[in-house]
Structure 1
Amino acid sequence: MHEATRYILDHADELRAEADPSDELGRITDRTVEILRASGGMKLLQAKDFGGHEAHPNDFMEWVMAVGMNHPSAGWIAGVVGIHPWEIAIADPRLQKEIYGDDPETWVASPYAPFGRAKPVDGGFLFTGQWPYSTGTDHSDWVILGGLVTDADGKPLMPPDVRHFILPREDYDIVEDSWNVMGLAGTGSKDVRMTDAFVPDFRVLDGVHVRDNTYSDRWRPENPLYAMRFGVMFPFAISAGTFGIARGAVRAAWDHIEARVSSQGSVSKADPFVLAALARAESDVEASIIHVQSIIARFYDTVAAGGDITVKDRLRFRVDQVRATDRAIEAVNELYRLMGSSSIQKGSPLERYWRDLQVASTHVCNSREPCYVAWGLDAFGGDIPPSAQY
């Protein structure tokens, strides 16, 4: 077990106590941030030459899940914000120094949806747009934003030229009161926006080259961690956040079942239907986790030996990743149907875990059908749709 995960487990009770206050604030509490920073987990995928651990991806997954099972919103931030050091590590070293040179603990938020418009100017771009879902943005000093390069008149180029633009906190505004949701309220995934912010060339990454390992090969050659492919690592991080919530949901059900007596006098811990549902849920959640971890371990061994993660590998990973995540979510939903009306009361851990899990399920990286279709089309010689994330 990595020391970052051990730290979280040692502070699990304190982390759980911060979950409700974080929801009420609409962002994680300062104490939650202190615990996450002290664990060192945000640096697990960060390059060693900028203060990180360069740990195995599955060490990162275990840390994210340990956070999420105790504090779902914090676990979601751990997965989303914690994956960004992986991309920063394959960027221009000038950018890495700007972000981590003075403070290796710096957090970077995102959203990647290409809502921005970037007009080329001398030395870079003028960047304008507004993006929802900037998870953990209140505690982040930088942000990665998706955008389309335009012509001089501001019209997006065709075919679309998608880039990742990385900006410091002083270059964008956080839109307060823009995160009003039924679950994962503590993530504070607010909108961010700016108008004509100048972004120098070295803070801009070509989306295609991020995915095809052009940057990894240039800046981190022969490093297995950074050869793992963006199209694998980012969905993997979202699954880690989702699995942490699912584990917490099963644990909350255990505690509920231990004490519950129904209105008909049935003792839940002796009810065969409840026990069967609990067994299925725990087994399916853990099997789903192992399923994803085993693929990641195999991929890591492949790239460490000098091999590559092919397009077919990545398409199959996405099928398995979304199916594993969906299986865990479905198992929890079936279990919670048997938890009784007390489980829907606000203040019940069951109610919060269920809401948070439903919101986690809506993330694009947990969307099933596009992955199934892309894999099937490729398997039968068809064209992979542009919408496929791999």
Structure 2
Amino acid sequence: MSSVLKSDIGHAVPGEDELIERARAMVPWLRTRAAEVEAARGVPADIIEKFREAGFLRVLQPRRWGGYEMNPSVFFKILMEVGRGCSSSAWNLMILGVHPWEFGLFDPRAGDDVWGRDDSVIVASSYAPVGACRRVEGGYVISGRWPTSSGTDHGQWAILGVMAPGEEGKPPVDRIAVLVPRSAYTIIDDWQVCGLAGTGSKSLQVQETFVPECHTHSLADYSMSDRGSMYLFPFTQVFCGSVSAVIVGMAQGAIDLFVEQMATRRNSGNGKQTSASPYVKDRLGNATALVRSSRARLLMMQIETTPIVERRELIPLASRVAYALDIARVGRECDQAVQLLFKALSARGIYLDNPIQRIVRDVMAASNHITQNADDNAGNLGGFLMGEALPPLQYAR
């Protein structure tokens, strides 16, 4: 896109290359902040403000509310750059930056309520359907405690996951997202973890709160509507793909640091330059291949599916099942990549002043995210290819 283009309410829209260059330019600065972010157990407001100023939080936002309404591939590429600098900061960008895309699925009244006065308002989330939910006239009443709301201190609203109840004694009829204002929940600081410690992924406690129908949408339904073409991608492709994209960035950050460190290190036993070891080179080459393959799968998924949604068609089910595994394997393969590098660092890798050990822990934590469940997604794909039914409320309502 040309920088002379405007969003529907007048914001200049930077081009894809410009946005990616802004992200790349932030990497050295984010590196210097990573230890501070981890120690604080949360991303400082000034880093989020830098992301906002760069336009990253508008990339997926609908033009109707001042966004750029770009292809998710642009957001993926930004995350792959920012992730090289500070894992936790990039994770916050991923979570807080993907939510604007979701407003292409909500009733437009939801977007009006959030951005009617200020189109830069940030929305947090917790999609685990762990709270109580009951149907009432005009919407739902929810209550409970939702965990791991990353970057939630920066949000004025939150999207929560719930199971829409069926008739008494019957299974849930849908898996839905509900939008609630900051006044509806209390933030509980329970984020004490070994990886991604700087994401501030605290819990949200909600008392009995009414959520109007227009503040909900189905997470399971995938059907045609009049929403814009960039919002015809499946929710799981955009959300889960964003998680994988930021993991690619983290792992690439480990590769960058490994190359820098090995350029000056010498073997303490024979005095030779460590980078001359064929085993070090082998580990670096294989780690790089794993990360490049992960990146390629995510971007190829967008290349293959963009023409489909631009024709205003839905992504076929067989492709969606395969893409789910393509996305989920990223966590496993990037974790393998950083472990390959870590083992070549010997004792020097375990010191807290070596940033690679933090990335190792961050990628390990990120690869445990539900979106990175390669085991179940492999089983789903294998079973589907052999004619088995898919899990309920996962690919369709």
- Scaled by the length of structure 1, the TM-score of the pair is 0.92
Instruction: Give 1:137's aligned residue.
Output: 152
Q: Which residue of 2 aligns with 1:332?
A: 338
Q: CA deviation at 1:284?
A: 2.3
Q: Which residue in 1 is equivalent to 2:52?
A: 37
Partner of 1:21: 36
Question: Post-superposition shift, 1:39?
Answer: 1.1
Tell me the CA shift for residue 326 of structure 1: 2.3
Unpaired segments ≥5 residues, structure 2: 1-15
Q: Deviations over 1:184-235 (max 9, x none)?
A: 11110110011101212211223333xx135xx14x1xx3211111121111
Q: Measure how far apart 1:387 and its partner are.
A: 7.4
Distance 1:287 1:147 in 2: 34
The share of aligned pairs that are identical, in percent, is: 29
Asked if the contact 1:18/1:32 (under 8 Å) is kept, the reply is: no
Alignment of 1:244-259 (within 5 A): 244-259=249-264
Look up the match of 2:194. Answer: 182
Shift in alpha-carbon separation, 1:230–1:376, aligned structure 2, 3 A: same
**After the TM superposition, which residues 274-293 of structure 1 pair with which residues of structure 2 at under 5 Å, given as runs?**
274-293=280-299
> How do residues 116-265 of structure 1 correspond to structure 2 at under 5 angstroms?
116-150=131-165, 158-176=171-189, 178-209=190-221, 212-214=222-224, 217-218=225-226, 220=227, 223-264=228-269, 265=271
Structure 2 CA distance for aligned equivalents of residues 4 and 172 of structure 1: 34
Tell me which residue corresponds to 1:352.
Answer: 358
Is the CA contact 1:148–1:157 (under 8 Å) kept in the aligned structure 2? Answer: no
Shift of 1:240: 0.7
Q: Give the distance between the partners of 2:169 and 2:24, measured in 1 at CA.
A: 48
Q: Does 1:302 align with 2:312?
A: no
How far did residue 361 of structure 1 move?
0.5
CA displacement 1:267-307 (0-9 Å, x = unmatched): 21211211121122123212220122012111011221233
1:72-104 deviations in Å (ceiling 9; x for gaps): 111112222221111112211111011112222
Change over 3 Å in CA distance of 1:289–1:151 after alignment to 2? closer
Is the contact between residue 46 and residue 52 of structure 1 (CA under 8 Å) also seen in structure 2?
yes
Higher helix share: 1
Tell me which of 18, 22, 30 is aligned to 1:3: 18
Contact preservation (8 Å) 1:319, 1:375: yes
Aligned partners of 1:280 and 1:8: how far apart in 2?
26
Contact 2:105 2:217 survives alignment (8 Å): no
Secondary structure at the counterpart of residue 46 of structure 1: coil
SS at match of 1:19: helix
Q: Which amino acid aligns with 1:116?
A: G
Whether 1:385 aligns to 2:391 is yes
SS of alignment partner, residue 208 of structure 1 = coil
1:156, distance to aligned residue in structure 2 (A): 7.8
Of stretches 83-92 and 156-165 in structure 1, the one that deviates more from structure 2 is 156-165
More displaced, 380-389 or 93-102? 380-389
My pick for the range that moved more, 156-165 or 10-19, is: 156-165
SS in 1 for 2:268: coil
Residue aligning to 1:88: 103
- Alpha-carbon distance change, 168 to 96 in structure 1, aligned in 2, over 3 angstroms: same
Counterpart Cα distance in 2 of 1:90 and 1:385? 22
> Would you say how many aligned residue pairs link Structure 1 and Structure 2?
380
My pick for the range that moved more, 380-389 or 34-43, is 380-389
